[in-house]
Amino acid sequence: MGSITIRKRKDGSAAYTAQIRIMQKGATAYQESQTFNRKAAAQAWIKRRETELAEPGGIAKANRAGVTVKEMIERYLDEYEKIRPLGKTKRATLKAIAGSWLGALADVAITSQKLVEYGTRRMQEDGIQAQTVGNDLAHLGAVLSVARPAWGYAIDPLAMPDARRVLRKMGAVSKSRERARRPTLDELDRLLTYFCEMRDRRKQQIDMVRVTVFALFSTRRQEEITRIHWSAMDEPGRRVLITDMKNPGQKQGNDVWCLVPDEAWRILQSMPRVAAAVFPYNAKSVSAAFTRACRFLEIEDLHFHDLRHDGVSRLFEMGWDIPKAASVSGHRDWNSMRRYTHLRGQGDPYAGWRWLERVVSGPFTGAVAG
């Protein structure tokens, strides 16, 4: 049976301490106390807690040693990595959450209110965007979805969906913005002219001329381009095996055979077979070289990934249907493919483009970038 004791605070106000003590076989099986500003609140708490403790397993659940969010994340990183390796971004995000105030919360203390507080504080105190908050909670949600059924931790299954719903209404959670940026022919002309000049001056180790045009016609990401190997190529079918293709649910071991359009195939075949990789470069160095060139040429808001966007859109402008375009891009469904299609008209915008012949027959930058 619960009891309430009253004491006076230094400011003269009353404090009501509610205490529950449950005896079993002459010994204390469980005890708990909490202080309130009002007697009615203390009485309500006693009634609620006694009802919860009277349920089957209620006392055992209350006595169990809790586990913190940090401990759950550490276990998830340790055990999940053995089954399916995690991406760098997800791993870094989870480690950051583990090191925050949220990481110190016990499993039973994870409520929608605490998750909402985490999201709003991230935006207000850290100045991050809503889409980043959404990513944080998505990664944490993956941990919580495993922690309850697989490890038996006391996770409220409604805490995360309720918190995301509230934050979405508040504008504190959103999906990443879809880019509609495509390079213009003039921008590509300036970029390729710049890369040719750097190549002729022997100031670059990466054949950015071929890499850039190949990325456009093949729709490949920079990481995928640098992972293409001569040994993993279907020459009769004009396909290449793209290993570890990016996918929301699977980033490692997601190997996909992708069709290579004629223009991209010609560029690929123009590469000398001097290494196991067709483009023996470092993916980060490719991205950095492209960014430096855009900055030097004052081309605003153009990313290397926008070449993929342009390449997929081109296929639809040429009249390709979804399955055929997806066989090039590697997309699994239309919803994920839609974000890359911002059409400018009908027909091939690169028909008769002078750069294709120049790239295929031009000199080669032979050094391998580290």
Q: Is the pLDDT of residue 249 over 60?
A: no
- Residue 354: half-sphere exposure toward Cβ, Cα within 13 Å: 6
Q: Is the pLDDT of residue 253 over 60?
A: no
Q: CB atoms < 10 A from the CB of 337, how many?
A: 17
pLDDT tens by residue, 161-183: 998 888 888 876 655 556 778 99
Buried b (16+ CB within 10 A) or exposed e, 3-39: eeeeeeeeeeeeebebbbebeeeeeeebebeeebeee
Classify burial at 177, counting beta carbons within 10 Å of its beta carbon; exposed 0-12, middle 13-18, buried 19 or more: exposed
Higher local confidence (pLDDT), 310 or 30? 310
| Reported confidence tier of residue 368, pLDDT bands at 50, 70, 90 | very low
Question: What is the average pLDDT value for the chain, to the nearest integer?
Answer: 85
- Residue 178: half-sphere exposure toward Cβ, Cα within 13 Å: 10
Q: Is the pLDDT of residue 104 over 80?
A: yes
Q: In this predicted structure, what is the pLDDT of residue 219?
A: 93
pLDDT tens by residue, 193-216: 999 998 888 767 899 999 999 999
Q: Is the pLDDT of residue 9 over 90?
A: no
pLDDT tens by residue, 260-293: 999 999 999 999 998 999 999 999 999 999 999 9
Q: In this predicted structure, what is the pLDDT of residue 134?
A: 87
Please give the average per-residue pLDDT across 311-329, as a whole number. Answer: 90
Higher local confidence (pLDDT), 89 or 60? 89
Q: Is the pLDDT of residue 252 over 60?
A: no
User: Do 236 and 242 meet the contact criterion of CB atoms below 8 Å apart?
Assistant: no
pTM of the model: 0.59
3-state secondary structure of 37: coil
- Residue 117: half-sphere exposure toward Cβ, Cα within 13 Å: 10
